[in-house]
Structure 1
Amino acid sequence: MPKDHFPGLTGSQVQTFIDNGYVKLDDAFGRDLAQRCRDELWAEIGLSADHPEAWTSPVIRVPFKSSPAFVEAANTRCLHAAYDQLVGVGRWLAPTGLGTFPIRFPSPDEPGDDGWHVDVSFGLENPDFMEWRANVKSSGRALLMLFLLSDVSPSDAPTRIRRGSHLAIARELLPYGERGATLRQLSAHGYCSTAECPVDLAVGAAGTAYLCHPFLVHAAQPHRGQKPRFIAQPPLLPRSEYDPSLPPSPVQLAIRRACGLAA
């Protein structure tokens, strides 16, 4: 069951977010909601859990869903409380749904989308996605989020996370200023600055959410297990540009720490 009386993230959890770049929130939304979301996604892609012979692609992507189940899953009381703690009260926009959905199927084939990367957040009008940008203020993105819509074990192609990589990316973005760096510039060296970061796996029961720093380096992986994996990976959008007159949020504290600035 979701945490109807969620007291908020503990101080230790907030510090873990600052240090590691993410916090795992169990029971962030209900298993029943996860099931409703999966049912809609099965219908969207024209496949069924009962007919695995039709699972011929290693991954199928669905862009965005705004039906009631998806809106409800993204807006539980405990999630709103965590958004407030990590981003700041009044500094984020309530999600209007969830997406995108990389639905991964057991397959011997390579998915072709399993490289390490950072999710960029503005300049998305450019038809060349390698020119999309991120800057050290994280304009256009308050959080990266992973919503587990199915149970995800280590054998179910969980998202790989380079723990603490957000700090290295903040330092790399600093010289680019407000204009930011393109995805092409960020990926030019294969994210080698984060290669020594420990790798964690985004595993958990359906209803789990991973709330991640926008600069966290992460990657998909081939699915060699048995059950399809359903997740959503939406951004949490900021209400406005970073306001230096407000107390820094944990997202901003992590950036300031990485760049050697006083909190």
Structure 2
Amino acid sequence: MPHPHDALSEAQISAFIADGFVRIDNAFSAETAAAARDILWRDTGCHPNDRATWTRPVVRLGGYHDAPFREAANTPVLHAAFDQLAGEGRWLPPQGLGTFPVRFPSDEDPGDAGWHVDVSFGFDDPDFMAWRVNVKSSGRALLMLFLFSDVGPNDAPTRIRIGSHMVIARQLLPHGEAGLTLRQLSADGFASTADCEETLATGPAGTVYLCHPFLVHAAQPHRGTEPRFMAQPPLVPRGEFDPAQPPSPVQIAIRQACGLDI
């Protein structure tokens, strides 16, 4: 029986386990998105009404803790979905959002459109290719994509390889706690997931994609007409994996991929 405050149906949770992501429409309001965009526009150094200032294909902005970003990340529907996917009480409420790769219409190669997974620990190493991920997903409960502008197929939507999280889980399993570095994991260009069907993270402002931490995804050039504003923060776990607790959907997906008992 669903809980009255559940954000996701059983079918959506099953799809998350199998596909590696779920889309939540109207996760935060259009008004909140507009207030956040005003702040982001200011910090890009570009002007929304002067395309001559749109000189770079991507402008990277850091984390933001202003009210619109905190509000967007902490709506009741998102908190309920976090509980359902990562486990009730097993995550930390976001205190803001970031980073923001703001993508502008451009014929120039953005230089960052390769397939990858977001690593989650080892950040003390100055070489980002040495950052790591392990089969427990230490340091990351979810990958999240927050759309702060309307994103259509031409507006540089994030590309997603459906079901790729299962492939990555199997690759990580033999490496235990230490896991693999991004350099090791990407040595083949993620060719192991090349046969996965692809989809695009499109939707109106206020849409959020909650993704499995191992989901393989990629940026792409912007072929539309208006800049794309999106945040791609982690949901941070409250602590390490606890085998005494019932497995969350994130953990169930890993266990199913690795052929382990659930």
Give the TM-score of the pair, scaled to structure 1.
0.97
Deviations 1:176-202 (A, max 9, x none): 100110000000011111000001000
Structure 2 counterpart of 1:177: 176
Structure 2 counterpart of 1:233: 232
In structure 2, the residue corresponding to 1:19 is in which secondary structure?
A: helix
Structure 1 unmatched runs, 5+? none
| Structure 2: distance between partners of 1:210 and 1:8 | 13
Question: After the TM superposition, which residues 104-253 of structure 1 pair with which residues of structure 2 at under 5 Å, given as runs?
Answer: 104-253=103-252
- One-letter identity of the residue aligned with 1:178: E
In structure 2, the residue corresponding to 1:178 is in which secondary structure?
A: coil
| Structure 2: distance between partners of 1:227 and 1:69 | 21
- Report the CA distance between 1:165 and its aligned residue: 0.1
- One-letter identity of the residue aligned with 1:141: R
Structure 2 counterpart of 1:58: 57
Structure 2 counterpart of 1:37: 36
In structure 1, the residue corresponding to 2:177 is in which secondary structure?
A: helix
| Structure 2: distance between partners of 1:28 and 1:121 | 25
| Structure 2: distance between partners of 1:6 and 1:43 | 37
- Report the CA distance between 1:152 and its aligned residue: 0.2
Give the TM-score of the pair, scaled to structure 2.
0.98
| Contact 2:121–2:139 (8 Å) recurs in 1 | yes
Shift >2 Å, 4+ stretches: none
Identity between Structure 1 and Structure 2 (%): 63
| Contact 2:17–2:253 (8 Å) recurs in 1 | yes
Structure 2 unmatched runs, 5+? none
Structure 1 counterpart of 2:14: 15
| Structure 1: distance between partners of 2:219 and 2:16 | 21
What value does the CA root-mean-square deviation take over the aligned residues? 0.9
| Structure 1: distance between partners of 2:232 and 2:138 | 18
- Report the CA distance between 1:47 and its aligned residue: 1.5
- Report the CA distance between 1:7 and its aligned residue: 4.2
